[in-house]
A and B are shown apart, each in its own frame.
Chain A
Amino acid sequence: GAVVSQHPSRVICKSGTSVKIECRSLDFQATTMFWYRQFPKQSLMLMATSNEGSKATYEQGVEKDKFLINHASLTLSTLTVTSAHPEDSSFYICSAPKTGGREKLFFGSGTQLSVL
């Protein structure tokens, strides 16, 4: 089946530093990927839609300059949390839809970001 790989699974960083999270579709191409944020015991909130070859589309209230998204190829999207602060600590999850037949959305395993 389709697999979406997300790396790293866990990262601890100091306040003010930037952190890059990678999301790869392993056996299919994805022109679109999605980035979600999840706080403990809460639902997934869509942050942005990553579009291969063009700018990402951000949801209302998400800071574009804080969360930089790059979709450089058909199998890779990256989320960079710039100048991270403790309030950015969260579980970040990417997803990619696999088309062909009934479209399904596959999720990465998530990245737990802790900003000290």
Chain B
Amino acid sequence: QQQVKQSPQSLIVQKGGISIINCAYENTAFDYFPWYQQFPGKGPALLIAIRPDVSEKKEGRFTISFNKSAKQFSLHIMDSQPGDSATYFCAASIAGTASKLTFGTGTRLQVTL
């Protein structure tokens, strides 16, 4: 299976709060897991990515947690800001390349004041 399941579909978080988005996959051949941020009318932009040899990766306010045994990974946005309001997509690819990605269904995040 090539599916990547993402939840929630939408999320409202207050400014300063933590936004958490979850993804699950079936294909154990996936070995690259990026997260993309997309603003309306724009293409996705790479936010952060992880490979399964680590359980967590942090870049600034963004953290990926990876659970290989459960085949799940999540994005945590700390101290969420209104400028973080966007659609977030998890993705996965096979064979160690970022090229052919399978995307999750997306999460629309709204950070309120």
A: residues with CB less than 8 A from B are 4, 6, 32, 34, 41-46, 49, 91, 93, 95, 97, 102-110, 112
- Given A46-B101, A110-B41, A110-B42, list of 4 further CB < 8 A pairs? A44-B44, A44-B103, A93-B43, A105-B99
- Cα separation A4 to B42 with both chains bound (whole Å): 12
Which chain B residues lie closer than 8 Å to A102 at the CB level? 49, 98
Closest residue of chain B to A99 (Cβ to Cβ) is: B97
| 5 A-B pairs closest in CB distance | A107-B43, A105-B98, A97-B99, A103-B98, A110-B43
Q: Which residues of A contact B12 (CB under 8 A)?
A: none
Selected from A105, A110, A112, the residue in CB contact (under 8 A) with B34 is A105
**Closest residue on chain B to residue A33 by CB atoms:** B99
Question: Is there contact, CB below 8 Å, between A43 and B105?
Answer: yes
Task: Kindly state the separation between the CA atoms of A106 and B105 in the bound complex, as whole angstroms.
Answer: 19
Are B106's CB and A42's CB within 8 A?
A: yes
Task: Please state if B45 and A42 are interface contacts (CB–CB under 8 Å).
Answer: no
CB-based contact A49/B44 at 8 Å: no
Taking a contact as CB atoms closer than 8 A, the residue among A4, A34, A41, A106 that contacts B108 in the complex is A41
Closest residue of B by beta carbon distance from A4:
B43
A-B contact pairs, 8 of them (CB 8 A): A32-B99, A91-B41, A93-B44, A97-B99, A104-B49, A107-B36, A110-B42, A110-B43
